[in-house]
Structure 1
């Protein structure tokens, strides 16, 4: 992927900040000075500084310039040993439902559920769009189809947005009731009960739920907190015939927030082709990655039709629309059949509403605003955790999404601590729920999407105190 001039400048200045050539609180050279020094246009320098602001590296002060943001020192999460465990059936459903129920206790500070808050979603804009589509196409409110599940304009918008990373055959698009349904349909299309699915370690608990519900096994692939799953470990597993399919979140993995580098994605696509193994790619957070350019999915390098890309617009527009989709590759016909048998057609009305919203500039504007907000909120949460938790704790460095993965000292049991935290009015997700084998017992996941308030600050202080007491 080609890097633009402004990205080069942003990366160069960011490296100077990382090495403390520019210290926290220090003013960067002026826009005019940087333009003259680097022989770049004013607009290119401004783009670079806006990118650094989006990344949370600098703050803009009116009439004063750009200043390096103050950040508390932190330790990154530990790297995992490159060791493969045996494939195993998953058994987290009962435990997960108990934790989710506890997390809904009245008057709780909700740091567990990873949904974007209403105040950063385009609710008013969507209200206007819904009204406009209802007036213009009232027949859609009653349209039902048992076979044709797609609205033509929605397909056009999905196809158009895919042009950023490659050419898409509209015939492989299957519209679903959510990204979750898309993933479930794909797993059913590429594997059978008893088959083994290679997954990241850690991975989103809903993906583990689906594997468990379908009677499949999981093979945990060691995953780097910055670059994603070990492809060396995956290749060993595929050579040994240990997995029949893969299920990965290459862009903004939940809970790690890591983004797989392009070279790794290209190598992964090659491995899938070499061993004829399908990949169900969960790309629901791809639009919420913090780089100036949206990272490409693994699908961009797929030449064999083995990658089934699943996504939706629920994280950045509205979860209530319940419209997702899958680019199903060579499995399109089977996924479409499973969709028809399982749930019939997806709402044509809400497909038309989303297509309207995507057609103009509203969606791209929403993404820019949301990314900037999430970078700032993750930084604020990270600083609070560093200030309140024991110094031995380590944090993820999310490259997208809105969750933070916290590694506590080994003797802290996140699940045992959870009950105490609930009693104190604080909810989070224990790390054991993100592993098929119960790993990550000393980890927890925090939702950073909410606006910072004194109540959240008190909750983090309380949680940090509980962790210290557990040592």
Structure 2
């Protein structure tokens, strides 16, 4: 309980403890839970704190109460897979939300150390300072204070600078990317992406009928300049999508010399660049490494990111920076009518401007590295004969390759039966690349023993048939 309470409000820790008890109760709807007084004494918290945690679970339908009897676990309805269950990504998403699962597929860095407590405290202070604003004062592209802070944070020189009017904030990253696909007219256009690539981005491009050409990263996260130049000369490339610094899921940092060479090549061809900046705050160098955009033509560049990766679920907003398409971007953001809390945006702006976020990032990066190191050491000790680990330089996950060409789908389904979820490498490609890879996260294995889980992963890899 002490460990649970370190980074949470107390009621959140009690809530999480109760969810574990409910999961242990299984499917029985008659499983009785501890009384308010019993749980308060057991966890050394107030009865009102326990009562609040129970009320949250009641609203979610996880528990129900009977007068003069107490609280009981509510059996969850069985969740059916969408479609016919053959879509691997849908299978991952659906099963990751089932109780009792050991989820090694997630990439939620901020879940280890969320910044929700100071964020919500700031929000409460701001609510006292600012009266409720009339609807006409709402800005469709995001709150000016936050846009101003972001513009300053991304400005690095008199050449690479941004204004608040260059920043657009949406409800989430997916919505922002959908707007970019429309504004940049990418439907049926040719786009080059580094590979492996985030599955959310790949699915959005696929849904928009974008012709995606994958550019596989070489060892060490290096981009092959010769291969890229050949593509730029032979294909009608509308846009190239590259990582700002830290490339995920590999967790590799593009070497400076390679970064400069790629930027020079793109400049010579006048190629538009969409820079993925979602993870640059999470590299082990503390975000001090230069970004790709520092060498690019700022007039041929767009940058996107999200707060969720380093603040947490309380800050799901996505944003994009662009010097161009101002009227089109404003129109799309207005038509999309994102419902964004202006006070929440102001609170995020204060976290950034006051240095609180940078303090948080120092702690978060250290904790992520400790968790990754623990998992990597365990994988090398137990599965050194089965997996090659690509040493990450940041982030919350570990990218690994099977040393023999196994059917990773078989590994995935074998582990799923044991309530363990991994992310097979094929999710990070539209063209069948990375079939012998997998991504693992040490953050969300719950109350499962990580040593035992790694042992089951090893069994699944060794029993899987050759591909």
TM-score by length of 2: 0.75
Return the index of the structure with the highest Cα Rg: 2
Q: CA offsets per residue over residues 334-365 of structure 1, 9 Å max, x none?
A: 33322222344643222111012112121111
| Offset, 1:408 | 0.5
Bigger mean CA deviation after superposition, 405-414 or 453-462? 453-462
Residue number in structure 2 paired with 1:154: 146
Contact 1:286–1:294 under 8 Å retained in 2: no
What CA distance in whole angstroms lies between the structure 1 residues aligned with 2:105 and 2:338?
32
Residue number in structure 1 paired with 2:117: 124
1:219/1:145 CA distance change after superposition, 3 Å:
farther
Contact 1:199–1:218 under 8 Å retained in 2: yes
What CA distance in whole angstroms lies between the structure 2 residues aligned with 1:235 and 1:119?
40
Residue number in structure 2 paired with 1:97: 90
What CA distance in whole angstroms lies between the structure 1 residues aligned with 2:168 and 2:279?
19
What CA distance in whole angstroms lies between the structure 1 residues aligned with 2:87 and 2:432?
13
Residue aligned with 2:220, SS = coil
| Offset, 1:420 | 0.8
Contact 2:105–2:439 under 8 Å retained in 1: yes
What CA distance in whole angstroms lies between the structure 2 residues aligned with 1:144 and 1:101?
40
| Offset, 1:152 | 2.1
What CA distance in whole angstroms lies between the structure 1 residues aligned with 2:110 and 2:324?
37
Are 1:362 and 2:356 matched, yes or no?
A: yes
Q: CA offsets per residue over residues 25-51 of structure 1, 9 Å max, x none?
A: xxxxxxxxxxxxxxxxxxxxxxxxxxx
Bigger mean CA deviation after superposition, 354-363 or 243-252? 243-252
Residue number in structure 2 paired with 1:188: 182
Residue number in structure 2 paired with 1:331: 325
Q: CA offsets per residue over residues 103-142 of structure 1, 9 Å max, x none?
A: 33331111112113545112221221121121111325x6
* 1:352 alignment partner, one of 346, 360, 366: 346
| Offset, 1:145 | 6.0
| Offset, 1:226 | 1.9
Residue number in structure 1 paired with 2:165: 171
Contact 1:200–1:228 under 8 Å retained in 2: no
What CA distance in whole angstroms lies between the structure 2 residues aligned with 1:252 and 1:159?
21
What CA distance in whole angstroms lies between the structure 1 residues aligned with 2:329 and 2:299?
13
Are 1:133 and 2:157 matched, yes or no?
A: no
Contact 1:396–1:406 under 8 Å retained in 2: yes
Residue aligned with 1:158, SS = helix
| Offset, 1:375 | 0.8
Residue aligned with 1:193, SS = coil
What CA distance in whole angstroms lies between the structure 2 residues aligned with 1:287 and 1:205?
20
Residue number in structure 2 paired with 1:49: none
| Offset, 1:206 | 0.8
Q: CA offsets per residue over residues 2-56 of structure 1, 9 Å max, x none?
A: xxxxxxxxxxxxxxxxxxxxxxxxxxxxxxxxxxxxxxxxxxxxxxxxxxxxxxx
What CA distance in whole angstroms lies between the structure 2 residues aligned with 1:300 and 1:243?
22
Residue number in structure 2 paired with 1:17: none
* 2:103 alignment partner, one of 92, 97, 110: 110
Q: CA offsets per residue over residues 149-180 of structure 1, 9 Å max, x none?
A: 23222122112212346422332111222233
Extract unaligned runs of 5+ from structure 1. 1-91
Question: Larger relative CO (CA 8 A, sep 6+): 1 or 2?
Answer: 1
Residue aligned with 2:237, SS = coil
| Offset, 1:293 | 4.5
Bigger mean CA deviation after superposition, 179-188 or 193-202? 179-188
What CA distance in whole angstroms lies between the structure 2 residues aligned with 1:235 and 1:343?
40
| Offset, 1:329 | 2.6
Bigger mean CA deviation after superposition, 352-361 or 316-325? 316-325
| Offset, 1:227 | 3.0
Residue number in structure 1 paired with 2:36: none
Contact 1:175–1:323 under 8 Å retained in 2: yes
Are 1:280 and 2:274 matched, yes or no?
A: yes
Contact 1:157–1:359 under 8 Å retained in 2: yes
Contact 2:155–2:162 under 8 Å retained in 1: yes
TM-score by length of 1: 0.74
What CA distance in whole angstroms lies between the structure 2 residues aligned with 1:446 and 1:293?
23
- Equivalences, count: 379
What CA distance in whole angstroms lies between the structure 1 residues aligned with 2:462 and 2:87?
29
Q: How does 1:335-414 map to 2 (within 5 A)?
A: 335-344=329-338, 346-414=340-408
1:268/1:145 CA distance change after superposition, 3 Å:
farther
Residue aligned with 2:324, SS = helix
What CA distance in whole angstroms lies between the structure 1 residues aligned with 2:216 and 2:370?
29
1:148/1:442 CA distance change after superposition, 3 Å:
closer
Bigger mean CA deviation after superposition, 114-123 or 204-213? 114-123
Contact 1:183–1:280 under 8 Å retained in 2: no
Extract unaligned runs of 5+ from structure 2. 1-84
| Offset, 1:289 | 0.9
